[in-house]
Amino acid sequence: MPRTPSAVKALRVSERRRLRNRSVRSALRTYVKKARTSVAAGEIEEATDFAKTAVSQLDKAAGKGVIHSNQAARRKSRLMHQLALARSAAQKAAAAEEPKAVPARGRTRAATRAAVASEVADQPRRGRAAAATTTGTRATATSTTRTRATPVRATTARKTAPAQEDAQPKPRQTRTRKTSTD
């Protein structure tokens, strides 16, 4: 038991805070559990709403000091990761149900190349390859994961000096060593 008056008061204050924090922690567990169960059930829209509420409550609890801010961040991260996995699984399931486009029979090589080129052109450029197209260089694939920017060579012929018909080649300069004579 505490002996000094300040220790007695600190005990009373900590007891009050413990009781108040207990109800907040219980509410947090409820919000997070609702979000997780709706994610597990595959109800993405409902899970998004529950996750939004849970994130808000976790932030409030961390702001009041009921839980540590790192704990709030960790729990939010895990919850949002589960929600993202559920969303991607739902999108993959929806994509699997859609019938795929069957290519036309007898397509020529040129038509196939043109179709592939148009698909590539529609995709956004990323990384060094995007910078290479704007700075006058082209991306050269050195492996499947890395690209290297190389300068684009000019297609015109190099300019040469006009030919001088009577020009003599310059004599080659040689180095002579000075020797001392005694």
Kindly give the pairing relationship between strand 137-141 and strand 147-151: antiparallel
With 80 as the cut, is the pLDDT of residue 12 above it? yes
- Structure confidence by residue, pLDDT tens digits, 152-171: 565 555 555 555 556 676 76
For residue 16, the enclosing domain spans 5-97
What is the total count of domains within the chain? 1
In DSSP notation, 46-84 reads HHHHHHHHHHHHHHHHHHHTSS-HHHHHHHHHHHHHHHH
Q: Residue 63 falls within a domain, yes or no?
A: yes
Tokens of 132: 């290479």
Find the CATH number of the domain harbouring 87.
1.20.58.110
Q: Mean pLDDT over all residues of the chain? A: 79
pLDDT digits (tens, 9 = 90+) for 78-133: 999 999 999 999 898 888 887 666 555 666 777 777 777 777 677 766 655 554 45
pLDDT at residue 142 tops 60: no
Confidence of residue 144 (pLDDT cuts 50, 70, 90): low
13 in any annotated domain: yes
Is 121 part of a structural domain of the chain? no
**pLDDT(174) > 50:** yes
143 within domain boundaries: no
**pLDDT (mean) for 25-32:** 96
Q: What is the DSSP letter of 155?
A: S
Domain membership flag for residue 23: yes
For residue 26, is it within any domain? yes
Give the residue, 175 or 159, on which the prediction is more confident.
175
Cα distances from 33 to residues 53, 61, 90, 147, in angstroms, run: 12, 16, 21, 45
Is 0.75 topped by the overall pTM? no
117 within a domain of the structure (yes/no): no
Helical spans, DSSP H, in the chain: 5-41, 44-64, 69-97, 109-122, 127-134
pLDDT for position 143: 46
In a domain, 80, yes or no: yes
